[in-house]
A and B are shown apart, each in its own frame.
Chain A
Amino acid sequence: MFLEFLFISSAVLTVSCALGVLVVKNIMHSCVFLLGSLMGVAGLYATLGADFVAVTQIMVYVGGVVILMLFAVMLTGGTDFISRAQNLLGLAPSMGNKWTYGMGLFVGVVFLLTNIKLLMGLTQTLPTKTINNEFPSTVTEIGHLLVKDHVLAFEISSVLLLGALVGAAIIARPRKQN
């Protein structure tokens, strides 16, 4: 009963806020709608029993990414520059060059193929859920997996983050004006 309530409210929150992000003209308001959508996703994780992932979602996205987006909007002076575009096609040339469009097409194809692969499974019957009682909680399970099975991924992720940190620092560094 409670779980159904949580699921329905999270799902409604996710979808309606995601629509809000698209529809609203004010960029600050879309950031706040995005916050609601991300919270809804956290709620969905929580209904699935993935408490660690749900909290990670809140920690990284709500606490980090949304604030970063708000800062990024403030770099441009907030909502004094509300988009005045008439339609999507009129905007398209200014959104990138042929490389970005090529990349976009490639990503779109990969996304489509992944979705087809996922949707193919819908016709089959789902395997019965096996409950793993080996670990007392999901946190312990994730910890054991990170240390034992996926230790290489764990270590490489730190290198990836180092790369991201260095890249972020370089991009955001002020340059001398020539």
Chain B
Amino acid sequence: MNQTVVSYLSKYEFYDYLLALFGNNQGVLAFTIYFLLALIIIGMCATIGGLGTYAERKISADLQARLGPNRVGPYGLLQMLADGVKMMTKEDIMPFTADKALFYLAPLLCLVGVFATLAVLPFAGGFIMADLNVGIFYLVAISSFVGLGVFLGGYASNSKWSMLGGMRGASQIISYEIPVTISILAIVLLAGGMGFGTIVGQQGGLPHQWFLFHNPFAFIAFFVYGVGALAETNRAPFDLPEAESELVSGYHTEYTGMRFGFFALAEYIEVFVVCGVAASLFLGGYNVPGITIDILPVQAAQFVIFMTKTLILYYVVIWIRWTLPRLRVDQLMSVCWKYLTPIAIFNLIGCAIWMVVFNGKSIAELVLGSH
């Protein structure tokens, strides 16, 4: 059965008081709770996305021995607000050759695809908005909206740079979905379920209980997932769709003001989501070492642990961007189809055989004896 925040909260006494307050209307109460929590999560993720742009510049400056933004607010921390205000007050320009309807629609598709993934992201035990049975599968499926948004954005602009960027972006995103999906399949196989609750619940708080160190194949699968995820979010070294030195800025060349802002916001939140998925699939998710009960202080600790893991991965993603050079487009495709996909299939087979031969035990369990 699908677990949700509301079904989690309904175990407590105050839920009955709330229910009485809403005139015993389950639907309205559930809607209110979901709506408020969704607002909080979106606000949080938008802040993280905004801080992501700041962190990107600050970390890149750090890696290149520069100062980075330091004028607006302490240490330049308010830079994201300044950026936001600037985007809102910029004139909205649309090329007169553009396909107007699709030009409007493209950023919306990106935004919908990214926001819908937030519904299943496991922040803490019990506080997954909806722990769907098809959790990770749903996440992979719904994030394909981003590819469509990128393509339509490039197409609708009717500019050569945008068109090239959009075509490249869409083919890159769909290609790298294959190794990512197969790596995720390996983890689904180990966990015995697609729901995030099941996957995280099968792991423990300490590193030897993580799926990352479950067996050698899962260890490789993590890196396949990581590379594929970088490509799916159009991050360097796979940022060919928006390669600034060859395609101006790719599919969003013609976008200005708020619509450009939506593309950027969607991209930064998607990086966060991808890091969160990596943390919960491979790095033990929100598990606190040694404690499994769901009470409020523990949940706060779980939230902190999840965010720490995710933000460390976020840092690594930015670090990679400013360290590695960009791939060529034929290298991009051969990396995907000739290296990552065969390796991912090999990992999947390896995990299946490991499950049967060692009866689902991890390396640590085999070495240290049962539990």
- Tell me the A residues contacting B by CB distance below 8 Å: 1-2, 26, 28-29, 32, 35, 51-52, 55-56, 58-59, 62-64, 66-67, 70-71, 74, 78-79, 136-139
Instruction: Supply 14 A–B pairs (Cβ within 8 Å), ascending by A.
Output: A32-B152, A52-B133, A55-B141, A58-B144, A59-B137, A62-B144, A62-B148, A66-B148, A67-B144, A67-B147, A67-B148, A71-B170, A78-B155, A136-B1
Residues of B close to A51: CB separation below 8 A: 2, 132-134, 138
- Given A58-B138, A62-B144, 10 more A-B residue pairs with CB atoms under 8 Å apart are A1-B27, A28-B155, A51-B2, A55-B137, A59-B140, A62-B145, A63-B177, A64-B144, A64-B174, A139-B134
Instruction: Indicate if the CB atoms of A67 and B142 lie closer than 8 Å.
Output: no
Residues of A close to B31: CB separation below 8 A: 2
Main secondary structure of the interface of A (DSSP, over half): helix
Instruction: Indicate if the CB atoms of B144 and A59 lie closer than 8 Å.
Output: yes
Q: Which of A2, A51, A56, A63 has the most CB of B within 10 A?
A: A63
Please, how many angstroms separate the alpha-carbon atoms of A56 and B274 in the complex? 20
Residues of B close to A1: CB separation below 8 A: 27
CB distance from A149 to the nearest CB of B (A): 20
Does chain A have a CB within 8 A of B333? no
CB distance from B164 to the nearest CB of A (A): 11
Instruction: Indicate if the CB atoms of A32 and B151 lie closer than 8 Å.
Output: no
Name the residue on A nearest B142 (C-beta): A58
Q: Which of B134, B137, B152, B194 has the most CB of A within 10 A?
A: B134
Does chain A have a CB within 8 A of B167? yes
Instruction: Indicate if the CB atoms of B99 and A79 lie closer than 8 Å.
Output: yes
Residues of A close to B30: CB separation below 8 A: 2
Please, how many angstroms separate the alpha-carbon atoms of A56 and B134 in the complex? 10
Residue from B1, B2, B141 within 8 A of A63 (CB atoms): B141
Given A29-B101, A63-B141, A78-B155, A137 and B148 contact (CB-CB distance below 8 Å) = no
Instruction: Indicate if the CB atoms of A70 and B151 lie closer than 8 Å.
Output: yes
Instruction: Indicate if the CB atoms of A137 and B170 lie closer than 8 Å.
Output: no
Within 8 A of A (CB), among B117-163: 132-134, 137-138, 140-142, 144-145, 147-148, 151-152, 155
Residues of B close to A52: CB separation below 8 A: 133-134, 137
Given A52-B134, A137-B1, A70 and B170 contact (CB-CB distance below 8 Å) = yes
Total A-B Cβ pairs within 8 A: 76
Instruction: Indicate if the CB atoms of A35 and B148 lie closer than 8 Å.
Output: yes
Given A58-B144, A63-B177, A32 and B137 contact (CB-CB distance below 8 Å) = no
Name the residue on B nearest A26 (C-beta): B99
Instruction: Indicate if the CB atoms of A67 and B155 lie closer than 8 Å.
Output: no
Name the residue on A nearest B31 (C-beta): A2
Please, how many angstroms separate the alpha-carbon atoms of A58 and B112 in the complex? 13
Residues of A close to B145: CB separation below 8 A: 62
Residues of A close to B301: CB separation below 8 A: none
Instruction: Indicate if the CB atoms of A2 and B27 lie closer than 8 Å.
Output: yes
Does chain A have a CB within 8 A of B102? yes
Please, how many angstroms separate the alpha-carbon atoms of A52 and B193 in the complex? 12
Name the residue on B nearest A136 (C-beta): B1
Residues of B close to A35: CB separation below 8 A: 148
Instruction: Indicate if the CB atoms of A63 and B147 lie closer than 8 Å.
Output: yes
Does chain A have a CB within 8 A of B105? yes
Instruction: Indicate if the CB atoms of B27 and A67 lie closer than 8 Å.
Output: no
Please, how many angstroms separate the alpha-carbon atoms of A67 and B169 in the complex? 11
Residues of A close to B155: CB separation below 8 A: 28, 70, 74, 78
Please, how many angstroms separate the alpha-carbon atoms of A21 and B132 in the complex? 32
Please, how many angstroms separate the alpha-carbon atoms of A64 and B30 in the complex? 34
Please, how many angstroms separate the alpha-carbon atoms of A70 and B148 in the complex? 9
Instruction: Indicate if the CB atoms of B105 and A139 lie closer than 8 Å.
Output: no
CB distance from A111 to the nearest CB of B (A): 29
Residues of A close to B170: CB separation below 8 A: 67, 70-71
List the 9 closest pairs (A to B, CB-CB), nearest first: A63-B144, A59-B141, A137-B133, A58-B141, A1-B27, A55-B138, A55-B134, A55-B141, A51-B134
